[in-house]
Structure 1
Amino acid sequence: MLEQGQGIQRDTSFFEKRGYNKDIMPKSVEQRNSSAFNFFTLWMGAVHNIPNYTAVGGFLLLGLSPLQVMISLVISSFLIALLLVVNGYAGSKYGIPFAMHLRHTYGDIGAKLPGILRGVVAGIAWFGLQTFAGSQALLILMNKIFPGFSDIGDGTTILGITIPGIIAFLLFWVINFAIGIGGGETLNRFTAILNPMIYIVFGGMAIWGIKAGGGLSKIMSYELTTEGSMLYPTILAFILVFNSLLGVWAAPGASVSDFTQNAKSTRTQIIGQVSGIVVAHMLFAFSSVTILIGGSIYFGQQEWNILNIINQWDNIWTIFFATGVLLLTTISTNATSNIIPAAYQLSALFPKHINYRRGVWIASIASIITMPWKMMENSDSIFMFLNIIGAILGPVAGVMIVKFFFISKCRINIEELYFDRNSNERPKVRINIQAYIATIVGVSISLIGFIPKFHVILDFSWFIGFFTAGILLLLLNIFKK
């Protein structure tokens, strides 16, 4: 078996003659330049964004106390970091992207379906939704900068969106596209600048929340006005929070090799990702609870949309700065979780015709064609979309991890993976049937939760799908022997 740095010292033409473009070739040791600091800053924006702050309000409505929500968020961060580090190990060891990690798991033909689901369906659709959500915050800023901006077109709509809305969407789309087209190096520079701004803004907002709420003790003792009792006992409510956050991270958790392939070493990505994810969530846990509850106390009503709290401030400059940083975190999330994985997957599906930059163009344009503003009209459809993606990608991550660690024993034959050959002259596996059976069973059980009688399964779908698929693959492999 070829270990890290071996079997990849070939020139570009060698790979291109066999149908590969440079974007999915294994990275040599010299090409891997992402440091622990790069990984530390990589996911910060994916933590501090508008939907995540809104989700905290939902966690409080479960009946958990403010302190319990904070604790559950911090514990969740260790689970998320573990997922990213473990599933990113193949990428950092062999320099391979997610597309080739999938091929090792499912076979070169079998990898196409999960690749399409992650990169094309989840990546493109969620890129459009995140871009539209961010454009709504941009629209608020533009109305403050240019009074009367929202009146342009007198309410005329084009394909279901107003003229000011489409202007804000396209403007924000261009910014997201520019970061995506720049790739990993541009993203590293962007997140390095964004990271200290996040600490300043959300740290400052947390201080404001404590003062506005009358002190930390008052915030921690705050009781929500909710109808009915808690849905689950405390321990199950904690697990529900874990499942929800792992569901949000299901897509980047599956395709993390697209980033770890650039790590200087496996140790680098472990230190960077664990420290970055945990520190980011510690700040997020404290700031989200203090800002949302402090703002609710100050304004006299329960408010879980952080933008609504910001826009009630008196100082216009603090509104601009805070909203601006939230827009930047949305861009960071879009790049790491959506547009980069989508571009790599399109490149892997059509390696002779689509490289990474063309993939960004195609994915970005496709995100407009999906008309995300139509999906945002109905919140139920958004949550259904996210639940489906989590239910699908949880089992995929479980199968990938079991295949690499327990079946392949952390070894990948690069020659066989890329060049249809192996030392024993056996026919190459085109579709890993065991992996497909395990994935289909895991997905099927997770999706049973959409049946009203079994709704509880949906609340824990990521865990159920991940462990069901992973354990089943392990058993199938044992019986196969």
Structure 2
Amino acid sequence: MGAVHNIPSYLTVGGFFAMGLSVFEVLAIILISAIILAGLLILNGHAGYKYGIPYSMLLRSSFGGKGSLFPGILRGVIASILWFGLQTYAGSVAISILIGKIWPSYITLGGDLSFLGLNMHSWCSFILFWMIHVFFIFGGIQSLGNLTKFIAPLIFIVFGGMSIWFTQLAGGVDSILRYEAKGVEGNRLFIMLTCISAILATWVAPILSVSDFTRYSRTFKGMFLGQLLGILTTYILFAIASISIIIGSEIAFGTPIWNILEVIEQFDFLAAIILSLLTVCLSTLSVNITGNLIPAGNQLSALFPKYLTFIKAGLLTSILGCLIMPWKLMENATSIFVFLNIIGGLLSPVIGVMVADYFLINKSQLDVAQIYHGSIKKNAVSIPAIVSILLAGMLSLAGNYVPSLSPLYSISWFTGIITAILLYISFMKISFKNH
């Protein structure tokens, strides 16, 4: 629930409507994305369930011990830092609104004084929300478990209530379904594909490190149904909530509001505002810890065990996430797509290689002792795997600089994963023939 119902997710759907897509097109995009996502989480989580190994060890089977350093840094460092920064800033905006509703003069702290693009109250909120993350780094996984149990019912209450309220303000369900899209320029099917790619890009890092969680699964049925039903149910609720809130608010107020926080500000009941903002903050906090801090802590401590414990790695991630100035990613309704295309293009090729290696090359059979202790695996570098992700990543992102390749960049998630699978299988076949 927290991984879906958070501020960047609503920003992404708001961007779809800002592009001119219709209600039914956005609904189709969300549901198709959920089906693909559930399938990939199950596929890449299979090794975690079957062998009880974390993501950092699973990488070794595909890339070799030394070879796993590169994709490990891509996911455990670069992606985690970027996502951590974005989620932390998004949550801090909610903190600012929350404190401002209780203490109005808070918004005017420091007057026009600003530093690196943020004013005084924004910095205070950012630092406060960052410090809450640090508390959970030291608090451990048990404190996170208690947090997620608390968040789920709140999300049902708050976003369900917002959906009902905005549906009523808009004049009922029929009014929302009759919403006239502004229309998009270009091929609609391709534009929908770019939107599906954007949603999947928001999950590319969790897909990679899902075995960090599935290794605790007791049965395959539990792992399979837990992820399938969890993702599909949550995304169906998210589709209903996001569409009714975003379109309902536009119909009610006469202007499109793509940021869920601006929608909450329209409430005229203080208790509802406080509860909604707390829920948004907590859900954002939850996904930031599970999707960024925990994988970064595991990966960095695995890469540099002599220097970094899990806690030190988490702290390093949280500090670097502040230094990238993540507020630049939320400047308008579509700026987040640039970020998502880059993330998708960088990391989706790693997913492609991992899935292809585990299912197509190794037929889901791994030698765990060799992965952990074998000198060959520890020192190995899989040239086919490394070359595949480099070439696929370059092709995915080249469209940002080469106009003729821009369509591939627009669907960078698909470009990266499909290209990597094809390249890796081809390289491995050549390698087998040579031996």
TM-score for both structures, normalised by structure 1: 0.85
Q: Does 1:449 find its partner at 2:399?
A: yes
Q: In structure 1, give the amino acid aligned to 2:107.
A: S
Task: For residue 134 of structure 1, give the secondary structure of its aligned residue in structure 2.
Answer: helix
Q: Compared with structure 1, are the counterparts of its residues 252 and 137 closer, same or farther at alpha carbon in structure 2 (3 Å cutoff)?
A: same
- Relative distance call for 1:230 and 1:380 in structure 2 (3 A) is closer
Deviation at 1:393, TM superposition (A): 0.7
Q: Displacement, 1:427?
A: 7.8
Match of 1:9 in 2: none
The one-character-per-residue Cα deviations of 1:445-470 (angstroms, maximum 9, x if unpaired) are 11122122321111111111101111
State the match for 1:90 in structure 2. Answer: 47
How far apart are the structure 1 equivalents of 2:27 and 2:309?
Answer: 42
Aligned equivalents of 2:377, 2:3: Cα separation in 1: 42
Match of 2:228 in 1: 274
**CA RMSD between the two structures:** 2.0
Q: Identity of counterpart residues, as a percentage?
A: 41
Selected match of 1:362 from 316, 327, 330 = 316
1:232 is matched with 187
- Give the corresponding residue for 1:476: 427
Q: How far 1:158 sits from its partner (Å)? A: 3.9
Q: Distance in 1 between matches of 2:377 and 2:300?
A: 27
Q: Does 1:433 align with 2:383?
A: yes
The answer for the alignment partner of 2:143 in structure 1 is 186
Match of 1:155 among 112, 126, 146: 112
1:23 match: none
In structure 1, what residue type is equivalent to 2:280?
L
Segment drifting more, 379-388 vs 59-68: 379-388
Map Cα deviations across residues 124-162 of structure 1 (whole Å, 9 max, x no partner): 222122111210111111111112112222332344432
Q: After superposition, what is the alpha-carbon deviation per residue over 1:231-256, rounded to whole angstroms, capped at 9, x for unaligned?
A: 323x3333222211111111111111
Paired residues of 1:449 and 1:461 also in contact (CA < 8 A): no
Matched, 1:418 2:364: no
Partners of 1:179 and 1:186 within 8 A in 2: yes
**What are the residue-to-residue correspondences of 1:102-113 with 2, within 5 Å?**
102-113=59-70
Q: Pick closer, same or farther for the CA change 1:141–1:375 going to 2, 3 Å.
A: same
Which residue is 1:20 aligned to? none
Q: Which has the higher helix share?
A: 2
1:214 maps onto 2:171 in alignment: yes
Q: Which one of 290, 297, 320 corresponds to residue 244 of structure 2?
A: 290
8 Å Cα contact 2:8-2:87 kept in structure 1: no
Check the 8 A contact 1:391/1:461 in 2, yes or no: yes
Q: Contact conserved, 2:133 with 2:285, CA < 8 A, in 1?
A: yes
Q: Could you say which residue in structure 1 is the equivalent of 2:410?
A: 459
Quote the residue 1:29 is aligned against. none
Q: Is the 8 A contact 2:21 2:181 kept in 1?
A: no
Q: Which residue of 1 aligns with 2:9?
A: 52
Change (3 A) 1:390 1:181: farther
Question: Which segment is superposed worse, 372-381 or 325-334?
Answer: 372-381
Provide closer, same or farther for how the CA distance between residues 127 and 184 of structure 1 changes in structure 2, counting only shifts above 3 A.
same
Deviations 1:300-329 (A, max 9, x none): 112222211211111111111111111111
Distance 2:362 2:141 in 1: 29
Q: TM-score of the superposition, structure 2-length normalised?
A: 0.93
The number of equivalent residue pairs is 431
Amino acid at match of 1:476: F
Change in CA separation of 1:358 and 1:402 when aligned onto 2, cut-off 3 Å: same
In the other structure, the counterpart of 2:282 is 328
Which shifted more, 258-267 or 181-190?
Answer: 181-190
Label 1:187 to 1:265 Cα distance change in 2 as closer, same or farther (>3 A).
Answer: farther
In the alignment, the residues of structure 2 paired with residue 183 and residue 267 of structure 1 have an alpha-carbon distance, to the nearest angstrom, of: 28
In 1, Cα distance between equivalents of 2:230 and 2:152: 10
Q: Say whether residues 1:314 and 2:268 are aligned partners.
A: yes
Contact 2:342 2:412 in 1 (8 A): no
> Is there any run of 5+ residues in structure 1 with no aligned partner, and where?
1-43
**2:25 partner amino acid:** Q
Look up the equivalent residue of 2:57 and give its one-letter code: M
Equivalent in 132, 145, 160 of residue 203 of structure 1: 160
Alpha-carbon separation, structure 1, partners of 2:219 and 2:49: 6
1:231 to 1:213, Cα distance in 2 relative to 1, 3 A: same
**Partner of 1:154: helix, strand, or coil?**
coil
Instruction: List runs of 5+ in structure 2 lacking aligned partners.
Output: none
Q: What SS is found at the alignment partner of 1:56?
A: helix
Q: Map residues 49-88 of structure 1 onto 2, 5 A cutoff.
A: 49-88=6-45
CA drift at 1:383: 4.0
Deviation at 1:374, TM superposition (A): 5.7
CA distance in 1, matches of 2:224, 2:371: 25
Q: Give the corresponding residue for 1:18.
A: none
Q: Distance in 2 between matches of 1:68 and 1:321?
A: 31
User: Following TM superposition, by how much is the alpha carbon of 1:386 offset from its aligned partner in structure 2, in angstroms?
Assistant: 2.8
- Contact preservation (8 Å) 2:11, 2:333: no
Structure 1 CA distance for aligned equivalents of residues 29 and 77 of structure 2: 32
Structure 1: how far apart are the matches of 2:339 and 2:244?
30
- Asked if residue 245 in structure 1 is aligned to residue 196 in structure 2, the reply is no
- What is the alpha-carbon distance in structure 1 between the residues aligned to residue 48 and residue 143 of structure 2? 20
Among residues 217, 241, 257, which one is paired with 2:211 in the alignment? 257
The letter for the 1-side match of 2:428 is N
CA distance in 2, matches of 1:238, 1:151: 41
Letter in structure 2 aligned against 1:171: L
Cα distance, 1:66 vs. partner? 0.8
Which residue matches 2:131?
174
Q: Secondary structure at the match of 2:104?
A: coil
Partner of 2:83: 126
- Return the alpha-carbon distance in structure 2 between the equivalents of residues 354 and 199 of structure 1: 39
In 2 relative to 1, CA 209–140 (structure 1 residues): closer, same or farther, beyond 3 Å? same
**Residues 298-307 or 427-436, more deviating:** 427-436
| CA distance in 2: counterparts of 1:72 and 1:116, whole angstroms | 31
Q: What's the secondary structure of 2:180's corresponding residue?
A: coil
